[in-house]
Structure 1
Amino acid sequence: MEKPLLVFDDKGIYCAIADVYLDPWKPVDKAIISHGHADHSRWGHKKYITHHSNIPIIKHRLGDIEVSGKEWNETFTINGVKFALHPAGHIIGSSQIRVEYKGEVWVFSGDYKDEDDGVAVPFEPLKCHTFITECTFGLPAFKWQPQKEVFDEINSWWQQNREDGRTSVLFGYSLGKAQRLLKHLDPSIGKIYTHGAIENMTEVLRPQLDLPETTRITRDVKKEEIKGNMVIAPPSAHGSSWIKKMTPYVTGSASGWMTFRGARRRRAIDRGFVLSDHCDWQGLLKSIKATEAEKIICTHGYTDIFSRFLCEQGYDARTVETQFEGERGEMETKKEQHN
């Protein structure tokens, strides 16, 4: 029996014919990287291949690396295997990796989102025989509101806090979520301030995005200046001494996990906004159906429940253990946390 085109080993997702890995979690010679989050793009590979819009991100996070960039839908061949990067809609520069050999097609989705957020290039369904999918939010309980409704709530919350003389501190991951928040905040309400980790990543991405003006919070910024305005900060800033400068403040968190009240209580958040850069339950099912794939491999999230449901729907579905972490893997790096 021939080996599958892609296999999962102790380093990552491996294509033996091309001798290349997809989003490996241990150092390898050649890696194709789907996007810039820490659980998918790790330090230590000899050569990186990724979408060109992801290059500034991974260079900012990983330092001096050897990396080459590809365009969307650009086919590149390694030892007879055809590869191409297609939009995943997750965050800016996020790709699905299409792999084809002798007529057999696999697609590794990385992380993906089927709603157009106005920041990332929208998700593009790809026909394939085998689809490797995340299922970070692979439970029926996860059902997202349209993005516009969520941002109307966020801007109304900010307006009310401003009228009450309180600062709005909104938590979101430094890469992806923060820029999505900035893109859709209403700057007519007040000024937007940022934590250093958010500002550093936003500076990297500004050449590619149309974002409102922001002000980095430094020691020179006075508490009185911030009052009533919006502050975008990474989750790691919650409970830190840094946040005391915002008093009096109200906290909010933008995450898919805010679906559950218990998550808000555990994180001691005043207001939760359900906003995710991943698909909800229906989004996953719709996206998988669009691939027309017979075989589905579930890599991270609610893998057991989701794959069992897919099997009941007639798919040949299974789970595989990986080191991908979904939203938990989108946390800022240690270097970013201390900026």
Structure 2
Amino acid sequence: MVSAPDDLVVQRPEGLYCPPGDFYIDPWRPVPRAVITHAHADHARYGHGHYLAAAPAEGVLRSRLGEITLQTLPYGEALEHHGVRVSLHPAGHVLGSAQVRLEHRGRVWVASGDYKVAPDPTCDPFEPVRCDVFITESTFGLPIYRWRPDADLFAEINAWWARNVEAGRASVIGCYSFGKAQRVLAGVDPTIGPIVVHGAVRPLNEAYRAAGVALPETRMVTEVPDRADLRRALVVCPPSAVASTWLRRFGDSSTAFASGWMQLRGARRRGGYDRGFVVSDHADWPGLLSAIGATGAQRVIVTHGSIPVMVRYLQEQGLEAEGFDTEYGDDVVEADAAPEPAA
């Protein structure tokens, strides 16, 4: 797309750039100043000079990026930089995820990052923000993507775990170490059996607990002396671990993958999993449309995902819609950006 001279956000090789403010939003190449919507690896990268993020994201950002120059801002509070008023508002995606509201000379733009509108006990709920221009993701921007209520979803996961306990085999659920793992942990019934987590999941759990998010007790595999307990365990690990030798220590097991992509026929089979559970930290099709409508924006810019479908649909609804090319990923990119400990 061709940007207008007064656009508050434009595309540059480094990422999405705010010209009057002279800063970037979730840049994918090193820049002097970056506003970060959340700590997933495709949005929060190492190497920027200065980072600004929502206060609840501090623990997970430092866990994933290490020593960075990080300034945090409570949700809803604003600061002014080169005449641009910047505030961060809950996106409901993962812990600390934020939408970036920009106000300059009477114009208001909102860059959503990734978001979901469904309730989630592990992060602040999505907050609609009125604006003139809304930059939305479209990871699951197709009508086939419609999520089930969490109560039904976790009843299914718990029943699968309980059946495996009766059969004497571990229940291994592959899910991304940041966000998805904590959502799974918060939703399952810990009375069914012990819960074991992979070494990549543990530091993120600690960051969530430090932020006040309630998670059940979990253990590393090396902290379970009785192998009989491993055969009753729910094992939460990154997808890469499911196909590794790390899994052998659990003996007989049933494997599952938790992802929005499990909505597609054949996705579970192609991944080699016994089960697939449709768990997503992104908005589904109705959620995307409700979020866009709640902003009141007449211009919508669509990023990563099903951009042509979403743009065409919004144009048919009478909105001015276009796409931004970005290097953001989707659920696949959220998998493990850093090498994982073996235990």
- TM-score of the two chains, using structure 2 as the length reference: 0.96
Equivalent residue for 2:262?
A: 258
Note the 1:127-142 alignment, pairs <5 A: 127-142=130-145
Residue type at the aligned position of 1:141: I
Q: Does 1:211 align with 2:215?
A: yes
User: Secondary structure of 1:36's partner?
Assistant: coil
Equivalent residue for 2:314?
A: 310
Whole-angstrom distance in 1 between the partners of 2:33 and 2:97: 18
Whole-angstrom distance in 2 between the partners of 1:293 and 1:219: 52
- Aligned to 1:159, which of 159, 162, 168? 162
Note the 1:36-51 alignment, pairs <5 A: 36-51=39-54
Whole-angstrom distance in 2 between the partners of 1:282 and 1:136: 13
Query: CA contact under 8 A between 1:138 and 1:281: conserved in structure 2?
Result: yes
Moved more, 252-261 or 31-40: 252-261
- Aligned to 2:300, which of 280, 296, 299? 296
Moved more, 318-327 or 210-219: 210-219
- Aligned to 1:281, which of 277, 280, 285? 285
Equivalent residue for 1:121?
A: 124
Equivalent residue for 1:13?
A: 16
Deviations 1:164-214 (A, max 9, x none): 111100111100010111111111111101111111211222112111100
Q: Cα–Cα, structure 1 residues 322 and 193, in superposed 2: closer, same or farther, change >3 Å?
A: same
Equivalent residue for 1:69?
A: 72
Residue type at the aligned position of 1:82: R
**Cα shift at 1:221:** 4.6
Equivalent residue for 2:193?
A: 190
Residue type at the aligned position of 2:58: I
Q: Does 1:320 align with 2:298?
A: no
Query: CA contact under 8 A between 1:111 and 1:326: conserved in structure 2?
Result: no
User: Secondary structure of 2:68's partner?
Assistant: coil
User: Secondary structure of 1:329's partner?
Assistant: coil
Equivalent residue for 1:106?
A: 109
Query: CA contact under 8 A between 2:25 and 2:35: conserved in structure 1?
Result: yes
User: Secondary structure of 1:326's partner?
Assistant: coil
Moved more, 214-223 or 246-255: 214-223
User: Secondary structure of 2:333's partner?
Assistant: helix
Structure 2: any 5+ residue segments left out of the alignment? none
Query: CA contact under 8 A between 2:140 and 2:285: conserved in structure 1?
Result: yes
Q: Cα–Cα, structure 1 residues 313 and 337, in superposed 2: closer, same or farther, change >3 Å?
A: farther
Whole-angstrom distance in 1 between the partners of 2:287 and 2:333: 20
Equivalent residue for 2:237?
A: 233
Q: Cα–Cα, structure 1 residues 308 and 229, in superposed 2: closer, same or farther, change >3 Å?
A: same
User: Secondary structure of 1:218's partner?
Assistant: helix
What is the aligned length?
A: 339
**Cα shift at 1:329:** 2.1
Deviations 1:127-185 (A, max 9, x none): 11110000000011111001111011101111111111111001111000101111111
Note the 1:84-99 alignment, pairs <5 A: 84-99=87-102
Structure 1: any 5+ residue segments left out of the alignment? none
- Aligned to 1:27, which of 19, 24, 30? 30
Query: CA contact under 8 A between 1:258 and 1:274: conserved in structure 2?
Result: yes
Whole-angstrom distance in 2 between the partners of 1:73 and 1:291: 16
- Aligned to 1:57, which of 49, 53, 60? 60
User: Secondary structure of 1:200's partner?
Assistant: helix
Residue type at the aligned position of 1:301: G
Whole-angstrom distance in 2 between the partners of 1:21 and 1:180: 29
Whole-angstrom distance in 1 between the partners of 2:310 and 2:254: 36
Moved more, 327-336 or 192-201: 327-336
Query: CA contact under 8 A between 2:153 and 2:277: conserved in structure 1?
Result: yes
**Cα shift at 1:62:** 1.1
Query: CA contact under 8 A between 1:264 and 1:272: conserved in structure 2?
Result: yes
> Cα RMSD over matched residues?
1.3
Deviations 1:5-43 (A, max 9, x none): 111110111111111101000000010100000000000
Whole-angstrom distance in 2 between the partners of 1:221 and 1:20: 51
Deviations 1:254-277 (A, max 9, x none): 110000121101101111111100
Whole-angstrom distance in 2 between the partners of 1:29 and 1:131: 25
- TM-score of the two chains, using structure 1 as the length reference: 0.97
Query: CA contact under 8 A between 1:194 and 1:231: conserved in structure 2?
Result: yes
Moved more, 33-42 or 219-228: 219-228
Query: CA contact under 8 A between 1:259 and 1:274: conserved in structure 2?
Result: yes
Query: CA contact under 8 A between 2:224 and 2:230: conserved in structure 1?
Result: no
Q: Does 1:334 align with 2:343?
A: no
